[in-house]
């Protein structure tokens, strides 16, 4: 008997739980001030998240999926995406979209049940939120194939949760990406829970990253609570994709500090002790500690930033609440290229007109 192949999964972390450097940092982090924009973005994400939850709890927004705990992933990815790249989010990537220029009130509109919030004029290449699990990965393969077919030097970045790695769509997408050597990066946000299903109960794989090995594509793990590490790992993966060197699967290890959505109660399936331990590793405090220790952030800076972010969150909520509701015709606008007769009279009735062509 002989060994025909060996594989390994590498793990990257630069800052420990207290924000102390574990060793030499990548070039972009040598000047701590260069990471201040990422920290500011993370604090804003948290403020907008808190405002969205407040809107939902007071009956002014529908079910909402919190981003609490994944700010470093969104900030790290946002820092290395180029304008012509394409983002294919799941339903928890609002932080990335903010960094792509998408106005926060659009995200509020989406979770308020207004599909106009799923259109991003500020970043028109990016795809809308995707609630079905893992289906966006097949879309990402199509996008990446088109990029390769056109000979363009850009990449697609698709997001998925740990639960998505147990879906057939996930494996089919990786297989196609590997066979066709596509410019695709798949970022698996391993926040330890697929709603109430803990990661240990949904897969026996030692890592989620290794699921890429069967597809013949590169893979690695990163500390998803370390913004420096995420930026480094995802940046390198995107650079490889743009250069034509093929796809990469990145597993970002983090923890969902919130309920799955505002319709969930996570206390039913995880302990308070487990959550308290996870808070010790959270990303915002970690990066703040590193910046402060290296002279790039002060208490005065923090106070000013908190005020600024609170004001921006209030402004986003105001813009959302003051947006006039869509007209009834919107329900029919994108169903068919030519609306069937069975729907034409319904459209006319919804628009308050007597004839079926009144809303045409």
Q: Cα dihedral angle (50, 88, 288, 316), rounded to 10 degrees?
A: -40
Q: Cα dihedral angle (224, 96, 49, 260), rounded to 10 degrees?
A: -60
Give which of 191, 351, 185, 340 is closest to 264, Cα–Cα: 191
Active site residue 60: no
Q: How far is CA 117 from CA 58, 271, 309, 351, in A?
A: 20, 35, 21, 22
The catalytic residue among 92, 199, 256, 344 is 256
Cα–Cα distance measured from residue 92 to residue 193, given in angstroms and rounded to the nearest whole number: 14
Q: Name the pairing type of β-strands 184-190 and 10-12.
A: unpaired
Sign of CA dihedral 92, 95, 101, 105: positive
Active site residue 256: yes
Counting other chains too, the contacts that 28-31 makes at CB distance below 8 Å and 24 or more residues apart are 28/231, 28/232, 29/228, 29/231, 29/232
Q: What are phi and psi of 43, to 5 degrees?
A: -65, -40
The catalytic residue among 92, 100, 154, 260 is 260
Chain centre distance of CA 152:
24
Q: Name the pairing type of β-strands 218-223 and 184-190.
A: unpaired
The catalytic residue among 60, 269, 307, 333 is 269
Which residues sit opposite 86 in a β-bridge?
156
Where in the sequence numbering do the catalytic residues fall? Answer: 256, 260, 269
């Amino acid at each position: 008997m002989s060994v025909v192949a060996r594989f390994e999964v590498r793990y990257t972390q630069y800052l420990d739980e207290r924000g102390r450097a574990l060793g030499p940092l990548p070039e972009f982090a040598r000047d701590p001030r260069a990471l201040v924009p990422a920290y500011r973005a993370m604090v804003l994400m948290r403020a907008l998240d808190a405002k969205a939850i407040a809107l939902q709890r007071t009956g002014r927004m529908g079910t909402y999926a919190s981003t609490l705990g994944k700010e470093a992933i969104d900030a790290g990815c946002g820092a290395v995406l180029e304008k012509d790249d394409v983002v294919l989010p799941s339903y928890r990537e609002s932080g990335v979209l903010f960094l792509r220029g998408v106005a926060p009130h659009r995200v509020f509109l989406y979770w308020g049940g207004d599909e106009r919030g799923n259109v991003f004029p500020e970043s028109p290449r990016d795809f809308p939120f995707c609630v079905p699990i893992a289906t966006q990965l097949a879309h990402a393969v199509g996008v990446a194939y088109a990029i390769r077919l056109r000979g363009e030097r850009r990449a697609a970045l698709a997001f998925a949760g740990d639960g998505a790695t147990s879906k057939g769509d996930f494996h089919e997408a990786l297989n196609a990406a590997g066979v066709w050597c596509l410019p695709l990066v798949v970022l698996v946000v391993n926040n330890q829970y697929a709603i109430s299903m803990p990661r240990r109960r949904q897969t026996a794989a030692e890592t989620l990253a290794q699921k890429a090995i069967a597809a013949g594509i590169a893979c690695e793990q990163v500390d998803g609570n370390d913004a420096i590490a995420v930026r480094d790992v995802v940046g390198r993966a995107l650079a490889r994709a743009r250069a034509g060197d093929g796809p990469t699967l990145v597993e970002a290890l983090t923890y969902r500090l919130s309920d799955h959505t505002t319709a969930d109660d996570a206390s039913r399936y995880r302990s308070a002790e487990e959550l308290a331990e996870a808070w010790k590793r959270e990303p915002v405090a970690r990066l703040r500690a590193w910046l402060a220790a290296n002279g790039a952030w002060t208490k005065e800076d923090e106070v000013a930033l908190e005020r600024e972010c609170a004001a921006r969150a209030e402004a986003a909520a105001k813009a959302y609440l003051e947006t006039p509701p869509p007209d009834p015709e919107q329900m029919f606008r994108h169903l068919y290229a030519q609306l069937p007769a069975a729907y034409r009279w319904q459209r006319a009735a919804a628009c308050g007109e007597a004839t079926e062509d009144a809303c045409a």
